[in-house]
Homo-oligomer: A and B are copies of this chain.
């Protein structure tokens, strides 16, 4: 399915955002050079690098008055180039639009089409709702940026997923957990008084890619976020985001009735607790009438939850859901749980806890499941819950911030990681991909969602590096249409971010497309995972074995010894494979039919195990480290070749970061090889360079102030 989409993507630069019938096949070859492609650029403008000379303001007409239509019109006036013809913005209820008998794209979709209005040729941007018009305006700007203003325009699209949400892990003191792009964008201290213009730019950037929700505070939540002052601050942000179609949500601390309400319990079955939440929800909705709802991390990594009282996750979620239900709110309840009292394979615990609850959640609850069963590793098999809870809406949670993939510094384009999970077949039925579970089409759910843990902070370029912007962008585009190909998205992003020069487009897209697999290679390929250092998760730590809880230690995950390596999740081991649908489980039970990229996730194998290639496991693993380093070195050379073709500021930052990445890829390689060799006492495969230092040196590295790791 992805392969087909890929082919489509090659001639459809806008991919699934436009249906093939109406799309333009115009490739960006020989595009007129952007006049300002080389002007200094600090990255602030993201994918909204509009021309200096813009359309005559009165060429953009709005029918109907609303903040959202005004925002759409303002965006076109800022972003369409001089000389662009007349544009009309109106919803489908407008008589002039009705007369055109355009197709409907549903409550959030859009149609952009040339037509004759009041006797003159006009580009009509419309949709069933104002939100559709807004998205149509941004789609038009994207089309012009990617294909040029001269290319034919005929666009229509609708989102496949209803909730397209960024999760900000932002603490109230401004520290962003797993944030590598400065501190929180929300200046809680000066809110609600001071409305930083940047908040509006954040909303514009999100609307441009279809994101329609933002959870403002960390899932490791403080009760204070639910106090009156913080509700007022959230309301100020909601007011700014509203014209851009973005709802705000809050992470709720489950024990807030105790901490704020003075109750003795937070037991969800206690009527006083339910009353407290009902009143709290009423209070929030008085300040934010379109408040989205709550995100909850409960009974996970020390957070309070219903299990503290012997109640189930469904009890907890449903009690909160009842509080927001009268206002149209929802609850996003995370399935990321594992208990220090449970000796079973950590990868199995969420399934064991949630599968029995299938069908027991209220209709305004969506269970939020991470893409994999551990925690946002460079590669994980899809989470078994996606094939296991047909009666429950499941929202997928990706991590856009690169906690495990090199922080902000390393170049790693995550769309291939996202797409890999979305395209995975759950095995429950033919064509039953994770994407079809998430978009609701497989099981008939309409409450559908995709969440991304934001990589956004207050650094000038938002994400800590120009290339990290691509991951924010790709998340939004995949949430709109999970069928878009990573390559099509890469090309869109590149054109909008660095301009349409063919060599720049080709080089940047190629760099993006190889970058994530390079990280897998140099941090540990073949299905290895969770090999990083403790706490900050920066750099290698496969030797770590002394942490209190077994599943905090990398040795728990790789289980390497003199003879072999890998986590046996077949029947002879934890039998986690049994959590997948039978046909898939059978495949995963045999190393010969397990995808090579997931091999050691599911199997403990001899170092001398022969892969399909005929090479041993040890040789293959070792050479993957070299391949990862080589890919980064090549990316660095290719970027060097673009010197002078990209503006100097973003070029220099990227060049510096690629140098850091190459150095750190070598560090990962050398430290990992030194450790594996200390365990398996095998020589390096022929021709491979030995590690630069001995193992002790790597073990002694300390990074006491690594970012993103609040104490």
Contact = CB atoms under 8 A, between A and B. Distances in A.
Interface string A183-202: 10000111001110110000
A659 interface: yes
Most buried by B among A173, A189, A224, A656: A189
Contacts of A224: 704-705
Contacts of A656: 193-195
A458 B182 contact: yes
10 smallest CB-CB distances across A and B, nearest first, come from A172-B705, A173-B705, A194-B656, A183-B183, A193-B660, A189-B707, A193-B656, A224-B704, A188-B705, A197-B649
A399 interface: no
A657 interface: yes
A199 to B, nearest CB: 13
A204 to B, nearest CB: 15
Interface string A153-191: 000000000000000000011100000101100001110
Given A173-B705, A189-B706, A194-B656, 20 more contacts: A172-B705, A173-B707, A174-B183, A174-B705, A174-B707, A182-B183, A183-B183, A188-B705, A189-B407, A189-B705, A189-B707, A193-B660, A194-B653, A194-B657, A195-B656, A197-B649, A198-B460, A224-B704, A458-B458, A460-B460
A102 to B, nearest CB: 38
The size bracket of the interface on A is 20 to 34
Interface in A649-698: 649, 653, 656-657, 659-660
Nearest to A708: B189
Nearest to A701: B229
Interface of A: 42, 172-174, 180, 182-183, 188-190, 193-195, 197-198, 224, 407, 409, 458-460, 649, 653, 656-657, 659-660, 704-707
Contacts of A660: 190, 193-194
A193 B656 CA distance: 7
Contacts of A460: 198, 460
Contacts of A657: 193-194
Nearest to A407: B189
Most buried by B among A42, A183, A198, A407: A183
Contacts of A459: 458
Contacts of A458: 182, 458-459
A695 to B, nearest CB: 20
A255 to B, nearest CB: 16
A168 B58 CA distance: 50
A409 B409 CA distance: 34
Contacts of A707: 173-174, 189
A188 B180 CA distance: 12
A188 B704 CA distance: 11
Contacts of A653: 194
Contacts of A194: 653, 656-657, 660
A177 to B, nearest CB: 13
A117 B660 CA distance: 49
A645 B172 CA distance: 36
9 contacts: A172-B704, A172-B705, A174-B183, A174-B707, A180-B189, A188-B705, A189-B407, A194-B660, A197-B649
Contacts of A659: 193
A310 B32 CA distance: 76
Contacts of A193: 656-657, 659-660
Nearest to A538: B189
Nearest to A649: B197
Contacts of A197: 42, 649
A499 to B, nearest CB: 21
A207 to B, nearest CB: 21
Nearest to A194: B656
A174 B197 CA distance: 24
Contacts of A409: 190
A184 to B, nearest CB: 10
Contacts of A180: 189
Nearest to A183: B183
A459 to B, nearest CB: 8
A709 B174 CA distance: 12
A659 B195 CA distance: 13
A653 to B, nearest CB: 6
A54 to B, nearest CB: 15
A634 B409 CA distance: 49
A653 B180 CA distance: 27
Contacts of A182: 182-183, 458
A697 to B, nearest CB: 14
Contacts of A704: 172, 224
Contacts of A198: 460
Contacts of A188: 705
A540 to B, nearest CB: 17
Nearest to A42: B197
A180 B189 CA distance: 9
Contacts of A649: 197
Most buried by B among A190, A649, A656, A707: A190
